[in-house]
Amino acid sequence: MGVERISEELKGVKPGKDFSVFLVCLLIAFLFWLLNAFTKAYSTVIEIPIEYVNIPNDKILSKALPDKTSAEISGTGFRLLSVSFLDTPEPIEIDFHQGNKQAGFKKVVSSFGPEALRAQVLDEIPSELSLGSLSIDSLKVVVEDKSEREVYVASEIDFKVEYPFFLNGEVSITPSSVTILGANSVVQGIDSIRTQELELGNVQKRITKDIELQFPMGVESEMKKVSISIPVDEFTEGVLEVPITINNLPVDQELILLPSAITVTYLVGLSEYDKVNAGSFEFSVDASSIVKGKTTLIVKQNKVPSFVEVQDFSPHKLEFILKK
């Protein structure tokens, strides 16, 4: 009974007590159509995973290989439906030892032609289906000696620091270098390994954070992440009285400075505030610059800690009394 015939007969069925009859007939028509459709032949494309086995322990793949192939298969709708949704194909195994081998300079090539790959795929699909084309019809598995190299780590970190905060030192990476392992031809061309990108925005405190490394395809390392330290500190102001050093004064003379000390105003990181004292600075005057009629000496700044920023000192000139 075709769908058209059932439709003609259902024209006289009225909603109400005959509605259940209408639904049953509709369902029967749909089942006949479905049975007819799924017994016809169709084609579809499925993906089959690829695994590579028996790679020699002392060798490594020279380059990344495809991890799947697309296969065109044909069969009835019912069989294709079961393959697509129920019977997922197992991976085909590419056995390095089974290929046609050819040794080169520091490399070994194991080749697999179309017949070998088709045989593998046919083993993984039901016998009721026919196999058409493959997206990969041949493979060359190239291996070479493993090689190690120590390379430095470069950071991919974006941040900014705004007053009253500042970067109190250099950004440090621990460890600063890692040992990588891979194909000799690949490893020898690598000078650095970069971290994952990290955006921190406006930083207002010291940050120590673990961050993963980015390795090129086919390169690995036992060290998967490094520690990044960003020494951000907050400025605080300090004021100290610093005595003046007198240089180039003859031994038979005495120089009295008025005053004998200056007031130094400086900025320092809050974490290092307690490290600063008057002895951390050196300011001086030069007695050899005294000439007749001169009444003041210029104060020179000679020594300041690297982590301190002098804002000002006062006075910049000192009166003096010279005794002979």
- Indicate the burial class of 117 (C-beta count within 10 angstroms; 0-12, 13-18, 19 or more): buried
The whole-number average pLDDT for the span 60-85 is 76
pLDDT for 165-197, tens place per residue? 998 889 999 999 999 998 888 888 899 999 999
The answer to pTM > 0.75 is no
For 88-133, write each residue's pLDDT tens digit.
678 889 999 999 988 877 789 999 998 888 888 888 777 777 788 8
* Residue 198 reports pLDDT greater than 80: yes
**Is the predicted pLDDT of residue 1 greater than 50, yes or no?**
no
Residue pair 96/112 in contact (Cβ under 8 Å)? The answer is no
The hierarchical CATH code for the domain 235-323 is 2.170.120.30
pLDDT tens, residue by residue, 8-48: 555 555 555 566 666 767 677 666 665 555 556 667 888 88
Which of these ranges, 1-10, 15-24, 58-67, 141-150, has the smallest mean pLDDT? 1-10
Q: Is the pLDDT of residue 87 over 90?
A: no
Higher pLDDT, 142 or 104: 142
Please give the pLDDT value at position 185. 83
| Residue range 254-313, pLDDT digits in tens | 999 999 999 999 999 999 999 999 999 999 999 999 988 889 999 999 999 999 999 999
Q: 244: which 2 tokens?
A: 């003046």
Q: Please, what CATH class does the domain formed by 41-137 belong to?
A: mainly beta
For residue 34, what pLDDT is reported?
57
Judge: domain 147-230, CATH 3.30.1490.20: no
Q: What is the pLDDT confidence band of residue 210, given thresholds at 50, 70 and 90?
A: very high
